[in-house]
């Protein structure tokens, strides 16, 4: 069985709402750490194709995988 997680950050941009998705997100990170990271992304927004302007939401998406023995 394998498991993984993604950190999905949703921002308002001049082109509408956009998701910024990062693989291997830490499911145990705190909300204050995520908010600080998002504020830093806004402060340094010029490096992104879609410049983040406002924070909308954030979540960690956890997935799992199970292999079946079919022999």
pLDDT for 15-70, tens place per residue?
999 999 999 888 889 999 999 999 999 999 999 999 999 999 999 999 988 889 99
Please report the pLDDT score of residue 23 as a whole number: 93
Q: Write down the pTM of the prediction.
A: 0.84
Number of domains in the chain: 1
Asked if residue 19 belongs to a domain, the reply is yes
Asked if residue 45 belongs to a domain, the reply is yes
User: What is d(CA 22, CA 9) in angstroms, rounded to the nearest whole number?
Assistant: 8
- Domain, as residue range, for 31: 2-65
Determine contact, residues 24/62, Cβ cutoff 8 Å. no
Asked if residue 29 belongs to a domain, the reply is yes
Q: In terms of residues, how long is the chain?
A: 71
Asked if residue 70 belongs to a domain, the reply is no
Asked if residue 47 belongs to a domain, the reply is yes
Asked if residue 35 belongs to a domain, the reply is yes
3 against 22, higher pLDDT: 22
Please report the pLDDT score of residue 2 as a whole number: 64
What angle is formed at CA 49 by the lines to CA 58 and CA 59, rounded to 5 degrees? 10
Assess whether pLDDT exceeds 70 at residue 1: no
Asked if residue 71 belongs to a domain, the reply is no
The tokens describing 54, both together, are 């406002």
């Amino acid at each position: 069985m394998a498991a993984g997680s993604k950190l999905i950050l949703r921002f308002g941009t001049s082109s509408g709402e956009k998701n910024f998705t990062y693989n291997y997100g830490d499911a145990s990170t705190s909300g204050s750490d995520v908010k600080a990271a998002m504020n830093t992304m806004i402060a340094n927004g010029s490096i992104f194709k879609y410049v983040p302007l406002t924070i909308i939401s954030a979540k960690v998406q956890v997935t799992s995988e199970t292999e079946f023995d079919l022999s």
